[in-house]
A and B are shown apart, each in its own frame.
Chain A
Amino acid sequence: MELFAMEGISKTFINGELKEDVLKGINLSLNVGEVTALTGASGSGKSTLLTIAAGLQDATDGIIHFNGKNLTTMSSEQIRKIRASEFGFVFQFAHLVPFLTVEEQLLLMLDVAEIKLKKIEKKKEVNRILTLVGMDHRKSSYPSSLSGGEKQRVAIARAIIHKPKVLFADEPTASLDSKRSIDIMVLIRDITKNYNITTLMVTHDEEMLKYTDRVIRMVDGLVFAGSN
């Protein structure tokens, strides 16, 4: 089932007289319950495509369909609301809020997504998600006391606590060693399957592609589709 699709997405950066076509009319659709990986050499446009898909920057041309709506015609406030309630984000670095405990990071996300639950129900949900990512024993810890892998698990928990429809992951394992990278990839794959999430992930690590359902190779702003 198709939830998210991009049609003819192009992006041109203009710097003075220099004009660079980073994306050249990309068509891509994402399936529910699948992890789609964007891979390619540095400068191929994979991160640019992910950030455009996530509504973090505008495309020069093209249309993005999400859940029957056209994202490219929405106001920045409408896109923010979608990012808050229907998208989840995992980045290369965990980017946790340094002065919030693990539990508070997730409670914050529930507030941002305007999830209407009682305080006790929110705490229950946080506990459930932390158990899912194996971090329930560190819920009172601050980010400074967590390892890189633990931080990334918390970041994943934060990205899914509000039950997003789409999960965007930009090099989620790039700052981790290989064992922790596999753990994180397995976690992302399992969550995608079990929660019927549509996941779009950027990675340059060929090893991690084993844990994805579909691989999109990008070369010079164009895609070459493939599958696992």
Chain B
Amino acid sequence: MNMAWKEMKKNKARFLILGSIVFLVSLLTFIISGLANGLSHDNAGLIKDLPPGQFYMTEDAEEMYNLSKINSETQDAMLTSHENAVALSIQLGFINDESDKQRSVAFVTSTDTDLFEQVSSGEVILDRSLEEEGIKIGDILTNNQHHGTFVVKGFVDQKKYSHAPVAFISTEDYQEIYRTSEMQLIFIPELETAQEFTGLQSYSNQEFLQTIPSYSAEQMSLNMIVWFLIVISGMLFAIFFYMMNVQKIGLYGILKAIGVKTSALFRMMWTKMVVITVIALGISIAGSQLFNSLAPNGMPFNLSIQTTVQLSLIFLLIGFIGATLSGIQIKKVEALQAIQQGEV
């Protein structure tokens, strides 16, 4: 007999309240997780989309890539020894559209590679967010530090850096704007273990992300909120089932006296926990995916099904642990105590 289901049916209001709280907490967790992921892409989409590999910048740059200047001999040697290696530079700057409106962008240039967009001098490829702001293919853009103009050749999706849309330009144009002939970084894809290069410091993709100003602080805060919410949901289960178990100590004792196994009482509690959590998470997943599709374009929100499923499994695990901890009372209760108590 499914006692758990019968109990939930009889005490709908009580379980509806718990389910609603789990739904709200999980929905909030999914939304904050989506926001964290969205902001992460907004901050470093350019880097996050790269295959795993190793970044190199000069040691004296002290983890600030924009201070790194890799000399041409070192660059040539590395590009020769690793044929898929690429030298690149990233700098925040401004670009003026045809109405002379100034827009913040991250200029990116690189040596010949498939990993970054390649353009000729006088051309630019932009992140699609600028298309949504009214810039079109063929528009003429300018920069105060550059003598010529940039013709918009196209747009690419999800290419942002430090919350600014990326503008891919040629190395010649980059060197003119920033008055430098040296590249800041070298990226060697598919290089699992870092190789030593004199005067250079290596960083994995994840380590490099941490060097982006504000990235780690932003992600740490949001992830902390997500984990707090997960822990809170676990505590909710523990407290709720503790309260329910305390009220039912007498009943559990009687059930044990008539021969019900302790494991059956635990199964009953776990069934309630799983049913409530699965229903609440199901509604929550549907709600968060709806939010994902309806969120305004300007909102950095990115919630994948994979992340949602991972978080849901964690919710189930934490709920299980919370409910089980509170169920220790069930194990402890003596049939004799219950008989000596009054009516349950």
Contact B7 A99 (CB under 8 A): yes
Q: Hey, which chain A residues are within 8 Å of B336, CB to CB?
A: 51, 56-57
B3 to A: closest C-beta gap in Å: 7
A113 at the interface (CB under 8 A from B): yes
B101 at the interface (CB under 8 A from A): no
A97-B3, A98-B344 known; A80-B339 Cβ under 8 A? no
Choice from B250, B254, B259, B338 contacting A84 with Cβ under 8 Å: B259
Bound Cα distance A103, B111 (Å): 80
Report the interface size class on chain A.
20 to 34
Residues of B293-344 whose CB lies within 8 A of A: 335-336, 338-339, 342-344
Bound Cα distance A54, B342 (Å): 20
Q: Hey, which chain A residues are within 8 Å of B92, CB to CB?
A: none
B279 at the interface (CB under 8 A from A): no
A109 at the interface (CB under 8 A from B): yes
Among A8-16, A20-28, A86-94, A189-197, the stretch in contact with B: A86-94
Residues of B1-49 whose CB lies within 8 A of A: 1, 3, 6-7, 9-11
Q: A80-B259, A84-B259 are in contact. List 9 more A-B contacts (CB 8 A).
A: A56-B335, A93-B344, A94-B343, A95-B254, A95-B343, A99-B7, A100-B3, A112-B259, A158-B258
B137 at the interface (CB under 8 A from A): no
Q: Hey, which chain B residues are within 8 Å of A89, CB to CB?
A: 257-258
Q: Return 10 A-B CB contacts under 8 Å, by A number.
A: A51-B339, A80-B261, A83-B257, A87-B259, A91-B254, A92-B339, A94-B343, A97-B255, A100-B3, A104-B6
Contact with B along A167-193 (1 / 0, CB 8 A): 000100001000000000000000000
B194 at the interface (CB under 8 A from A): no
Q: Hey, which chain A residues are within 8 Å of B7, CB to CB?
A: 99
Contact B10 A95 (CB under 8 A): no
Contact with B along A35-69 (1 / 0, CB 8 A): 00000000000000001001011000000000000
Residues of B247-262 whose CB lies within 8 A of A: 250-251, 254-261
A84 to B: closest C-beta gap in Å: 2
Contact A56 B251 (CB under 8 A): no
A108 to B: closest C-beta gap in Å: 5
A203 at the interface (CB under 8 A from B): no
Q: Hey, which chain B residues are within 8 Å of A57, CB to CB?
A: 336
Q: Hey, which chain A residues are within 8 Å of B343, CB to CB?
A: 93-95, 175
Contact B1 A104 (CB under 8 A): yes
Contact A112 B258 (CB under 8 A): yes
B9 to A, closest residue via Cβ? A99
A49 to B: closest C-beta gap in Å: 13
Bound Cα distance A109, B259 (Å): 9
Choice from A81, A99, A175 contacting B6 with Cβ under 8 Å: A99
B344 to A, closest residue via Cβ? A95
A129 at the interface (CB under 8 A from B): no
Q: Hey, which chain B residues are within 8 Å of A93, CB to CB?
A: 342-344
A111 at the interface (CB under 8 A from B): yes
B255 to A, closest residue via Cβ? A97
Contact A85 B259 (CB under 8 A): yes
